[in-house]
Amino acid sequence: MLFLGVGMLLLALKYLEIDPVAGWPWWGVLIPFGLAAVWWTWADWSGYTKKKAVQRENDKRKARIDKSRQAMGLPTKKR
């Protein structure tokens, strides 16, 4: 996401012709978009995206269980 944000900023600076980006070649401005595509490809290929999604789901599940246990007056389990 960082690469995409940097790419959008550089694209806006190039379009609005703000120095020093106005003098850069277009390929230099578009590099962050290519890096974002490489990052997303690697993240999907390596399983990083799925691992993070499962981790978020597990954290939400634990929070729900802890909230329910607290509402019943039971101590929360330490994991």
As for how many domains the chain has, the answer is 2
Q: Are residues 2 and 38 in the same domain?
A: yes
CB-based contact 10:21 (threshold 8 Å): yes
Residue 79: its pLDDT value, please?
61
Q: Are residues 34 and 59 in the same domain?
A: no
Q: Are residues 12 and 41 in the same domain?
A: yes
Residue 77: its pLDDT value, please?
74
- pTM for the structure as a whole: 0.67
> Which residues span the domain enclosing 31?
1-46
* Angle (CA) 40 3 1, round 5°: 60
pLDDT in tens, 21-79: 999 999 999 999 999 999 999 999 999 989 999 999 999 999 999 999 999 988 877 76
Q: Are residues 56 and 32 in the same domain?
A: no
19 Rama class: left (phi>0) / alpha (psi -120 to 50) / beta: beta
pLDDT tier at 1, thresholds 50, 70, 90: confident
Q: Are residues 42 and 71 in the same domain?
A: no
